[in-house]
Structures are given as structure tokens and as C-alpha cells.
């Protein structure tokens, strides 16, 4: 690798634009060979300066470095980007003069469902959410989009910006063509250009000839842009607290090591007239004997002295240290807007409230995905008489049971029959295929008689009355306290 002074000058000047080890920063072509500083790290002063005065590129690099580092920062981001199940429902919308019984409309609907079944949307949305939470914005472009293909290319974040919106209120991407100049190998550069839409390679050639500037606007039908909140790394403010916590843990570790060290003090007494009870050579023999006895314990030292020593003991501050660490730990979650109950729950009531808040925050991104995918489906399959709505449900692994029960109750009242199935990870196509399998092929409708429900069966005066007993995790703290009190009274 060339490490000439010219290269080092270029490296230092553009350090924040170079990819760092172990993680795709979205700042350069992944197969380009760069030389970089392997042990680059931040001080707390550096972090606070970047948060207050740094460029968006510096903030993104900082966010990505701490995500790579792992720990609190990665756990919180991974928790949010995987919170939703990204289960969706496709709603066909027909005009007043149209009907879904029309065979042409039915074929169009089944074409949409077949197209969507080819795409792993959960992984795709997780990737988009992860990048949006780390960088503040996800930038992408369609490499190929038609009725048989859905190819997405993630754009390098440092070479993108968004300042305008289209008529549908979607963010418009501006892409810096100098990204391809960062690919030093000519063959790799050609390979990268060939993966992008043709208008990108054409614009790059015009840029190299000096006919246009390096910034090119990506048309709305090609660009994919999701801005999270203000477009800056959302959890950047918790990094100083993470460093404080790490420093405190290190300090407490050193303190613990000090506290387990013990000193055995052997005080050689004097007689009343000041004469030594043991001569120095005798005291030395006693000292060596004690040392030999304790040599198997690395945490014990021996002191033999004629002087008056009251005590040498380790200071016990375990309780104070634990309280300090707990406060600092809670402060990390407080600054991130996340409840510590998520990762170490102590009360189901506060946990439920926190999960609802987290779900509502991630639904702001999910609603953008829904709107974007609706536009894509209508561009490919819609017409004047029929359009489609792609809708991500507010469904997570944490509220799956409640969502399923509530949607089932609504279905018994005539509402959507699809929602209970979707809550069980069965999509629209799978539900139709599953029922066809059960009824048409296996004949289960005639062989299995459904259990009666509370809506169809008569009341039984001899049966149990009252609401069914709740599971332990569904009880409120007050109910738990009441049950404990009743249990103590019965003893």
C-alpha cells in the first residue's frame, strides 16, 4: 500500500470520509482498499465537541464507531430497529364503478401478492431502520424496479443529502458523484457504476468532463430516503453517559481489588520497662513464618512491627458503589428515552407503558415505509380503476398476544378476519392457501367441529363465574401486593 507523503496528506484531510475497520460506514465503496488508523478512539471532550459543533459526517462516524463497539449503544439501536414485526396488510382500493369480483381486478390483486411474496420485507425494513437510527437518515436507490425485480442499493451516507421534497412530501436525494472517485481501482469503479441506474453513470461522465457539478438530484421514482426525526444520529446524546459509566465500572473494579486485599499486622510487644519481648532476629523469624503460611493467598500481606498500629482495614463502600452505578445506568436509558425495564424488568406496569411509547416512536418510520411501498405498488400495478394501500401494522413481539386477542374479538363482531392471522405471522396469501388446504384437500371442516365460544354457547349456572384468572405477568403491582397480603393472612 502506498504510504507516500501525498497519500498521508490526503488521508489526514479526509479522515472522517474514510471507512473504518470492522463496519461498513457507508462512506466508501466496500471493496476499495484504504489505509486507516486502526486504534482510532475518542475522548469525552472530542465527543462533546462533535455533538455540539461537529459536521453531520463526523456525527455519523462517531455513531457508527460506538455501534461497532457494542454494549449499550448497539443494544438500544438493535432493540428499536427490531421492535416491530413489520407485518403488513395489502388493501385493494377500487373505484365506485369497479368491484373486486371483476376477474381483471382479482388478477391484479393476486399479481401484487405474488410480487410481494418474493421479497423479505422484514429484513429489508430492519436494515433501513438500523441505518436510519445510526446515521439519522437512510439513503438508497433502486438498481432495478419492475414487476419481476425489486433491487435496492444502499447509498453511502457521507455522499448524500436531502434538502427538498416532492409533491408527495417525499424527501429528494442529492447524490455526490465524487463517491466514484473514491474507488481507486478503475475496474471496481466500472463495476460500481454498472450496478447503478444508467442516468447515474451518464451524469458521472458529464461531471468528469466538467459539464455539470458533482451533485446530482436523484429522481423520485429512483430514490429511497427515510429521515428519522431531525436527520441526525438519534441516540448520540447517550455516548458521554456510556463513557462515564465505563469509567465508573473501571474505578469500582480497582476499588474491589483493593478491598479484597488484607494486611495481617503482627505487633511485637514491649515489657513494662521498655525491654523488647523478642529480639529483632526472633521477630524476623516470626514474620517469615507468617509469610510462609499465607504465601498461597495473593490477597494477604504480612506486617511485623514494634510500632503501635491501630488497624489497617479496607474501606467497605460496596453499597454506595452499587447505588452510583445504578443511577448512572438509569441515566443512560433516560437520555436515550428508553426504559431500563426493557432489559431488566422489575414491574410489568412500567414496562407496558415504555413499550407503548417505543412502539409509537418506531411507527413514525413504519408509516413512511407504508407510504413509500404504496407508491411503488401503485406505480407497478395500479391503474385508474384500482389502487393499493401497503400498511404496516403496529405489531411487535411484545404486544402480539394482546393484538391477536383484540383483533379476534373485533372479528367476532364482523371486523377484519385477516388481522388475527397476521398477528400469528400468517400473511394474506398464506391464509388463503392454508384454508384451501384444510377445506378442499384435507376436508378438515367436516372432520373437525370448532369449539363453541362465549358468543354461541349458553350460560352454565354451575360453571365458574367471574373473569378468567390472569397470568402472573399480566398482574398489576397492586394486585400482586393484594395477593401476597391474602397469602400471608391464610398462613
User: Is 319 within a domain?
Assistant: yes
User: Is 150 within a domain?
Assistant: no
Query: Would you give the distance in Å from CA 66 to the centre of its chain?
Result: 13
Whether the CB-CB separation of 405 and 99 falls below 8 Å is answered with no
Residue 93: CB partners within 8 Å, gap ≥ 6? 386, 387, 388, 389
Whether the CB-CB separation of 359 and 84 falls below 8 Å is answered with yes
User: Is 264 within a domain?
Assistant: yes
Query: Could you read off the pLDDT of 375-427 as tens digits, one per residue?
Result: 999 999 998 889 999 999 999 988 888 898 899 888 888 888 888 888 888 88
Helix (H) or strand (E) holding 331: helix 318-336
On the question of pLDDT at 443 being above 50, the answer is yes
On the question of pLDDT at 14 being above 60, the answer is no
> Quick one: pLDDT at residue 69?
84
472 DSSP assignment: G
Q: In angstroms, how far is the first alpha carbon of the chain from the final one?
A: 79
Nearest to 28 by CA among 137, 220, 185: 185
User: Is 255 within a domain?
Assistant: yes
Query: Could you read off the pLDDT of 170-229 as tens digits, one per residue?
Result: 889 999 999 999 999 999 999 999 989 999 999 999 999 999 999 999 998 899 999 998
Q: Cα separation of 280 and 455, whole Å?
A: 97
Helix (H) or strand (E) holding 435: helix 428-436
> Quick one: pLDDT at residue 38?
36
Give the residue from 276, 311, 333 where a domain finishes. 333
On the question of pLDDT at 371 being above 90, the answer is yes
Q: What own/partner pairs with CB < 8 Å and gap ≥ 24 does 29-36 have? A: 29/156, 29/179, 29/182, 29/183, 29/188, 29/192, 31/188, 32/182, 32/183, 32/184, 32/185, 32/188, 33/1, 33/184, 33/185, 35/1, 35/3, 35/7, 35/11, 36/11
Higher pLDDT, 486 or 107: 107
User: Is 429 within a domain?
Assistant: yes
Give the residue from 333, 353, 388 where a domain finishes. 333
- 438 burial (CB, 10 Å; 0-12 / 13-18 / 19+) is middle
231 DSSP assignment: S
On the question of pLDDT at 299 being above 80, the answer is no
The structural domain count of the chain equals 2
Helix (H) or strand (E) holding 51: helix 44-53
Among the residue ranges 125-129, 291-295, 430-434, the one predicted with the least confidence is: 291-295
Give the residue from 305, 333, 361 where a domain finishes. 333
Query: Could you read off the pLDDT of 304-344 as tens digits, one per residue?
Result: 776 665 545 545 544 445 555 566 556 555 555 555 555 55
Residue 441: CB partners within 8 Å, gap ≥ 6? none
Query: Could you read off the pLDDT of 60-71 as tens digits, one per residue?
Result: 999 999 898 888
User: Is 80 within a domain?
Assistant: no
> Quick one: pLDDT at residue 489?
59
User: Is 435 within a domain?
Assistant: yes
Band of pLDDT at residue 22, cut at 50, 70 and 90: very low
Give me the domain span that covers residue 282. Answer: 247-333
User: Is 188 within a domain?
Assistant: no
For residue 7, give the C-alpha cell.
Answer: 497519500
Residue 313: CB partners within 8 Å, gap ≥ 6? none
Among the residue ranges 131-145, 202-216, 435-449, the one predicted with the least confidence is: 435-449
- 277 burial (CB, 10 Å; 0-12 / 13-18 / 19+) is exposed
Query: Could you read off the pLDDT of 255-277 as tens digits, one per residue?
Result: 666 566 667 677 777 766 666 77
Rounded mean pLDDT of the chain?
Answer: 77
> Quick one: pLDDT at residue 12?
38
**CA–CA distances in Å: residue 8 to residues 41, 412, 413:** 19, 70, 71
> Quick one: pLDDT at residue 390?
96
Amino acid at each position: 500500500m502506498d504510504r507516500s507523503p501525498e497519500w498521508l496528506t490526503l488521508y489526514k484531510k479526509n479522515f472522517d470520509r474514510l471507512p473504518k475497520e470492522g463496519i461498513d460506514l457507508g462512506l466508501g465503496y466496500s471493496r476499495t482498499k484504504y489505509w486507516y488508523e486502526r486504534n482510532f478512539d475518542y475522548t469525552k471532550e472530542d465527543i462533546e465537541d462533535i455533538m455540539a459543533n461537529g459536521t453531520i459526517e463526523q456525527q455519523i462516524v462517531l455513531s457508527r464507531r460506538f455501534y461497532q463497539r457494542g454494549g449499550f449503544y448497539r443494544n438500544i439501536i438493535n432493540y428499536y430497529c427490531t421492535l416491530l414485526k413489520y407485518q403488513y396488510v395489502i388493501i385493494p382500493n377500487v373505484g365506485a364503478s369497479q368491484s373486486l369480483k371483476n376477474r381483471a381486478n382479482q388478477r391484479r390483486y393476486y399479481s401484487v401478492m405474488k410480487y410481494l411474496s418474493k421479497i423479505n420485507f422484514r429484513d429489508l425494513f430492519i436494515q433501513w431502520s438500523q441505518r436510519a437510527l445510526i446515521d439519522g437518515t437512510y439513503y438508497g436507490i433502486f438498481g432495478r424496479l419492475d414487476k419481476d425485480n425489486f433491487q435496492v442499493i444502499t447509498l453511502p451516507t457521507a455522499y448524500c443529502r436531502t434538502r427538498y421534497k416532492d409533491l408527495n412530501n417525499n424527501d429528494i436525494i442529492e447524490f455526490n458523484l465524487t463517491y466514484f472517485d473514491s474507488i481507486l481501482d478503475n475496474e471496481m469503479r466500472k463495476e460500481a457504476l454498472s450496478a447503478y441506474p444508467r442516468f447515474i453513470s451518464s451524469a458521472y461522465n458529464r461531471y468528469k468532463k466538467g459539464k455539470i457539478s458533482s451533485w446530482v438530484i436523484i429522481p423520485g421514482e429512483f430514490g429511497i430516503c427515510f429521515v428519522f426525526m431531525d436527520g441526525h444520529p438519534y441516540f448520540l446524546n447517550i455516548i458521554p453517559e456510556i463513557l462515564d459509566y465505563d469509567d465508573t465500572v473501571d474505578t469500582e473494579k480497582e476499588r474491589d481489588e483493593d478491598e479484597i486485599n488484607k494486611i495481617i499486622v503482627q505487633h511485637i510487644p514491649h515489657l513494662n520497662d521498655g525491654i523488647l519481648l523478642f529480639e529483632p532476629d526472633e521477630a524476623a523469624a516470626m514474620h517469615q513464618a507468617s509469610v510462609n503460611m499465607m504465601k498461597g493467598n495473593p490477597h494477604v500481606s504480612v506486617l511485623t512491627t514494634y510500632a503501635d498500629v491501630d488497624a489497617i482495614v479496607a474501606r467497605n463502600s460496596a453499597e454506595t458503589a452499587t447505588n452510583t452505578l445504578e443511577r448512572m445506568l438509569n441515566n443512560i436509558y433516560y437520555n436515550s428515552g428508553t426504559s431500563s425495564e426493557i432489559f431488566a424488568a422489575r414491574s410489568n406496569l412500567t414496562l407496558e407503558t415504555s413499550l407503548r411509547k417505543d412502539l409509537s416512536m418506531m411507527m413514525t418510520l413504519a408509516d413512511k415505509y407504508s407510504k413509500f411501498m404504496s407508491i411503488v405498488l401503485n406505480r407497478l400495478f395500479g391503474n385508474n380503476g384500482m389502487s393499493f394501500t401497503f400498511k404496516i401494522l403496529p405489531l411487535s413481539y411484545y404486544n402480539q398476544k394482546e393484538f391477536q386477542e383484540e383483533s379476534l374479538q373485533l372479528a367476532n363482531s364482523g371486523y377484519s378476519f385477516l388481522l388475527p392471522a397476521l398477528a400469528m405471522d400468517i400473511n394474506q396469501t398464506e391464509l388463503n392457501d392454508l384454508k384451501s388446504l384444510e377445506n378442499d384437500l384435507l376436508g378438515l371442516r367436516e372432520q373437525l367441529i370448532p369449539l363453541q365460544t362465549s358468543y354461541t354457547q349458553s350460560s352454565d349456572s354451575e360453571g365458574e363465574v367471574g373473569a378468567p384468572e390472569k397470568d402472573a405477568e399480566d398482574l398489576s403491582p397492586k394486585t400482586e401486593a393484594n395477593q401476597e397480603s391474602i397469602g400471608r393472612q391464610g398462613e
